[in-house]
């Protein structure tokens, strides 16, 4: 009899927990197996990822996706919410790669497999896998594009911009770009116009992370369009007419590229500018068609999403996911699956992004 009443009490307690979950999350009884956390809804890049995740997971109710709105506190809360729903796999793109270690550790403590998505989580052993694009190649492709536009010019004015120092990728992008640009800066083909820290290091090809941090500290856009716009405007105010003319601009991604390009376009002493980007955001695809942005690096989000989903499914099925290499995060070599990137400019924009079926032609004008 005693045992029986214990069972009833336990049953009642479970019912209560169930109804709290229902009242709190509005999630009904559904158990969530895979939780996805993305950094912000305010950048088209991450909305692209959301769309592609929803497409890839159509009809699978055991997944929940939350945005952290550029706030590590909200990100940690998101992870905790998902843990209460019983996730077994967490796919997370951190807002701040170091701050997110705490969220990853909380998940790990619950036995959850943690997959870092696009951005690595630093300085923790709590991250199991990493799905990513080849970010060093992104930077190389941006720099190579600028080099290819030189066409014999020397003493070409170069303006450098970078992503947020809290994002490990910002270092990888810059590292790749610097590898390609540095020899041409050292021999005077390019002349850096907006970073004394970069000038101080221009004789050095392989920069340490601390050296890159010094440069990024000076040229960072924080992945913020307004910061990018302000920085470009300040640089143009400080620059002399001789620092302008035909200029070369390393911009880290599409959102910041558009903001920076708009500032350079307004300056009458700038006769022509070349500006890089990445993400193939729709607004930048239109800018490329219109000749306002020179290039973008296309990162096919569908591949990244399907790699992350396949990895999650393998983990749920008790299988070891396929990886192709590893990235060191300061505490461990994280097994990684990497995807290649494609350079897109006016010449191949239609073939790469529209004819390929990535975007419908009707989203653009002047194709």
Name the residues that contact ligand BGC, by CB under 6 A: 43, 45, 118-119, 163, 167, 169, 223, 253, 278-279
Q: Of 33 and 254, which CB lies nearer to ligand BGC in the complex structure?
A: 254
Residue 145 or 190: which CB sits closer to ligand BGC? 145
Residue 167 Cβ vs ligand BGC, minimum distance, rounded to whole Å: 5
Nearest distance from residue 218's CB to ligand BGC, in Å? 19
Least Å from the CB of residue 260 to ligand BGC: 14
Report how far residue 164's alpha carbon sits from residue 168's, in angstroms, rounded to the nearest whole number.
8
CB of 223 to ligand BGC, least distance (A): 4
Q: Tell me whether residue 24 or residue 217 sits nearer to ligand BGC (CB atom).
A: 217
Q: Which is nearer to ligand BGC, 33 or 96 (CB)?
A: 96
Minimum distance, C-beta of residue 47 to ligand BGC, in the bound complex (Å): 11
Q: Minimum CB separation from ligand BGC for residue 25, in Å?
A: 28
Polymer length in residues for the chain: 367
How many helices (H) and strands (E) in the chain? 13, 13
- Rounded Cα–Cα distance for residues 95 and 108 (Å): 19
User: Judged by CB, which is closer to ligand BGC: 47, or 150?
Assistant: 47
| Choice between 202 and 221, CB closer to ligand BGC | 221
How far is Cα 289 from Cα 208, in angstroms, rounded to an integer? 38
Using CB atoms, what's the residue nearest to ligand BGC?
253
- H-type helices in the chain, by residue range? 2-25, 44-57, 72-84, 101-109, 135-148, 168-186, 196-200, 209-219, 225-238, 254-266, 282-289, 301-316, 349
Contact (CB, 8 A) for 316 and 33: yes
Residue number with CB closer to ligand BGC (45 or 244): 45
Distance separating alpha carbons of residues 117 and 305, to the nearest angstrom: 9
- The nearest distance, CB 168 to ligand BGC, in angstroms, is 8
Residue 287 structure tokens: 């800018």
Question: Are 42 and 70 within 8 A, CB to CB?
Answer: yes
Q: 276 near 146, Cβ under 8 Å? A: yes
């Amino acid at each position: 009899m005693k045992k029986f009443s214990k069972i009833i009490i336990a049953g009642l307690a479970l019912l209560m927990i169930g109804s709290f979950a229902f009242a709190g999350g509005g999630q009904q009884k559904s158990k969530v197996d895979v939780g996805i956390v993305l950094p912000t809804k305010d950048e088209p890049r991450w909305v692209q990822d959301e769309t592609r995740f929803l497409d890839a997971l159509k009809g699978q109710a055991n997944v929940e996706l939350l945005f952290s709105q550029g706030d590590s506190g909200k990100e940690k809360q998101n992870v905790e919410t998902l843990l209460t729903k019983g996730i077994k796999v967490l796919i997370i793109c951190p807002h701040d790669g170091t701050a997110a270690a705490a969220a990853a550790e909380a998940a790990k403590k619950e036995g959850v497999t943690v997959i870092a998505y696009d951005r690595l989580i630093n300085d923790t052993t709590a991250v199991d896998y990493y799905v990513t694009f080849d970010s060093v190649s992104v930077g190389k492709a941006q720099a190579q594009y600028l080099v290819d536009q030189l066409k014999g010019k020397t003493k070409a004015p170069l303006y450098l911009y970078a992503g947020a120092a809290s994002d490990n990728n910002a270092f990888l992008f810059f590292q790749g770009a610097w590898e390609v640009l540095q020899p041409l800066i050292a021999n005077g083909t390019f002349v850096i116009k907006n970073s004394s820290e970069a000038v101080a290091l221009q004789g050095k090809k392989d920069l340490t992370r601390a050296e890159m941090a010094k440069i990024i500290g000076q040229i960072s856009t924080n992945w913020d369009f307004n910061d990018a716009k302000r920085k470009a405007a300040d640089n143009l105010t400080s620059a002399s007419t001789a620092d302008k003319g035909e200029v070369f601009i390393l911009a880290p991604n599409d959102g910041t590229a558009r903001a920076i390009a708009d500032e350079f376009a307004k300056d009458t002493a700038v006769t022509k500018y070349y500006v890089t980007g990445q993400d193939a955001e729709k607004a930048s695809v239109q800018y490329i068609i219109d000749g306002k942005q020179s290039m973008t690096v296309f990162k096919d989000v569908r591949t990244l999403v399907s790699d992350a989903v396949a990895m999650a499914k393998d983990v749920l099925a008790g299988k070891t996911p396929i990886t192709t290499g590893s990235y060191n995060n300061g505490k461990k070599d994280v097994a990684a699956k990497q995807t290649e990137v494609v350079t897109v400019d006016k010449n191949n924009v239609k073939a790469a992004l529209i004819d390929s079926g990535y975007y419908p032609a009707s989203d653009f004008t002047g194709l």
